Structure 1
Amino acid sequence: MATELTIFNDREYTIEDYMKIDDGQRYELIGGELIMVPSPKPRHQRVSAKISFQFESFLRQNPLGEVYYAPIDVVLGDQVVQPDIIFISDNRLNIVGELNIQGAPDLVIEVLSPSTASYDKKKKGQIYLKYGVKEYWTVDIDAKIIDVYKVGEKQWQWLGSYDEEDTITTQLIPGLEIKLNEIF
């Protein structure tokens, strides 16, 4: 079982190549490179599940869209990524296909792991920006902080860092409040 990113860059990989892979591993396709992503650790999964639960509980009572969580393929141009958690507003659910999500979710959340943190924040963050994600959250489970960014003209606009004492809201889902003391 891989604990670090393994990058296959021996040739230019395509979405067609990606779709043929069936070896039980998790991959992403970025810039023609095939990236084998290690399985998340239990603590990562626990935090991710708690965040997802908050979204699902709220959306059950307020049907404003749908939340999905890894592993799920999100196709953005010729890239395929697997964010930890995504939200798609109800007026954009047409991007949900039979096999994958075909277009930018409204909100992407990445729970950072030591092996993928810089990759998630830099490379994937730029892809999310380029393809139209409206809001991007990075969750640092060690520091117990969530950084929130919203789309700007040419780069992400940092809205702030939130810790266990805070409650996060988003204009994308009016009324949703995530109390971070229930997450960390």
Structure 2
Amino acid sequence: MVVNPQIKLSYEDYQNLPESETKRYELLEGELVMVPAPNWFHQSIARVLFKFLDNFVGKNSLGEVRFAPLDVVLSDEIVVQPDIIYISKQRAKIIHQEEVRGAPDLVVEILSLATAKRDRTTKKTLYARYGVTEYWLVDPETNTVEVLKLTARGYRRAGVYGEKETLRSPLLPGLEIPLSKVF
């Protein structure tokens, strides 16, 4: 839900919004967009994916994994809060105390009825533009994960994995997530 499309905001404006314990927002091309609270299944999926990613990344000393809510500032007019992000240790300089300033290596978005269109279009375009190397679209309706890999021409589908399959990541060779444990 776009709050007021006539008013374009900057990251400074976004930071000065009153804090809310019940509402989360993203800033997309200067437009303030309310992000709905995740449901129980969404949170369960996020928890399991985070655990697999964090364990793999930690065991191999590859970088950092975090989960929402955490601001990822791609530009002065684009601030997103992906469900899960991974940042390689080579790019750790983009991690700041209050936010991440730059594109994570991996973004995971768990779709909902309210966010699916935006995650598949607007955010996909933005993530490609700002250099997110790999983008996962997790669909709780179909129990699938679509893995997209950034190329010179935008994202290319690296795979679509169902609940009886094992997810593999081009970005993180050796990572295997049995989706039967996720869905």
* TM-score relative to the length of structure 2: 0.94
Q: Aligned partners of 2:29 and 2:40: how far apart in 1?
A: 29
2:3 alignment partner, SS class = strand
| 1:109-157 superposed Cα distances (whole Å, 9 cap, x missing partner) | 1000101100111001100000000010100011000011101212210
2:175 alignment partner, SS class = coil
Moved over 6 A (4+): none
Residue 16 of structure 2 is matched in structure 1 by: 20
Residue 87 of structure 2 is matched in structure 1 by: 88
Q: Aligned partners of 1:179 and 1:22: how far apart in 2?
A: 41
1:156 alignment partner, SS class = strand
Pairwise CA RMSD of aligned residues?
Answer: 1.1
| 1:145-170 superposed Cα distances (whole Å, 9 cap, x missing partner) | 00111012122101121001211122
Once the two structures are TM-superposed, the CA of residue 16 in structure 1 deviates from its matched residue by 0.7
| 1:77-116 superposed Cα distances (whole Å, 9 cap, x missing partner) | 2200010011111111110011100000001010001011
Residue 48 of structure 2 is matched in structure 1 by: 50
Q: Aligned partners of 2:52 and 2:12: how far apart in 1?
A: 35
Kept in 2: contact 1:148–1:160 (CA 8 A): yes
Please say which of residues 53-62 and 33-42 is displaced more in the overlay: 53-62
Q: Aligned partners of 2:179 and 2:60: how far apart in 1?
A: 21
Q: Aligned partners of 1:22 and 1:53: how far apart in 2?
A: 32
Once the two structures are TM-superposed, the CA of residue 56 in structure 1 deviates from its matched residue by 1.4
| Aligned residue type for 2:73 | V
Once the two structures are TM-superposed, the CA of residue 60 in structure 1 deviates from its matched residue by 2.7
Identity %: 42
Residue 76 of structure 1 is matched in structure 2 by: 74
Q: Aligned partners of 2:172 and 2:73: how far apart in 1?
A: 23
Kept in 1: contact 2:58–2:64 (CA 8 A): no
1:56 alignment partner, SS class = helix
2:121 alignment partner, SS class = helix
| Aligned residue type for 1:29 | L
| Aligned residue type for 2:101 | Q
Once the two structures are TM-superposed, the CA of residue 11 in structure 1 deviates from its matched residue by 1.2
Q: Aligned partners of 2:29 and 2:97: how far apart in 1?
A: 24
Unaligned 5+ runs, structure 2: none
Q: Aligned partners of 1:16 and 1:129: how far apart in 2?
A: 24
**Equivalent residue for 1:11, pick from 7, 18, 27:** 7
Once the two structures are TM-superposed, the CA of residue 23 in structure 1 deviates from its matched residue by 3.0
Once the two structures are TM-superposed, the CA of residue 70 in structure 1 deviates from its matched residue by 0.5
Q: Aligned partners of 2:89 and 2:173: how far apart in 1?
A: 13
Residue 122 of structure 2 is matched in structure 1 by: 123
Unaligned 5+ runs, structure 1: none
* TM-score relative to the length of structure 1: 0.94
Q: Aligned partners of 1:169 and 1:36: how far apart in 2?
A: 32
| Aligned residue type for 1:162 | Y
| 1:1-52 superposed Cα distances (whole Å, 9 cap, x missing partner) | xxxx243223111111001112312110011111111111111011011100
Residue 102 of structure 1 is matched in structure 2 by: 101
